[in-house]
Amino acid sequence: MEKGGKSKRTRAVVDRIEDGGVAVLHVGEDEETKVELPASLLPEGTESGSHLVINVSLDDDSRKESEDRVKALQEKLEKRGGGGRKNFKL
């Protein structure tokens, strides 16, 4: 697995795609980690035996937006309830 700042890259092999639309992948250099995910997330033409490259990245912008929404909701609830402030962490 390649390591880098806020993203990682690894390989996977498609073991099978089940009738319910679930793809079973064997992930990593040793292919020992089994992962199940919706087959709809895979590229068109993916089938049993296909080799994939998987890139996973942190989405700091999305996290910040979520934190801001939660903070705004907490402030709104505090004004409505008038109670003491409680700190919540995502």
The DSSP 8-state label assigned to residue 21 in this structure reads S
Q: What is this structure's pTM?
A: 0.67
pLDDT-derived band at 81, boundaries 50, 70, 90:
confident
Average pLDDT over residues 24-46: 96
For the structural domain made of 2-81, what CATH number should be given? Answer: 2.40.50
Q: What is the mean pLDDT of the chain?
A: 89
Task: Extract the tokens encoding 48.
Answer: 């049993």
Side chain identity at residue 17, one-letter code: I
| Alpha-carbon span 46 to 21, nearest angstrom | 12
Instruction: Give the Å distances, CA to CA, from 41 to 38, 52, 54, 66.
Output: 6, 12, 11, 24
Task: Extract the tokens encoding 29.
Answer: 């250099």
Q: Which residue has the higher pLDDT, 20 or 89?
A: 20
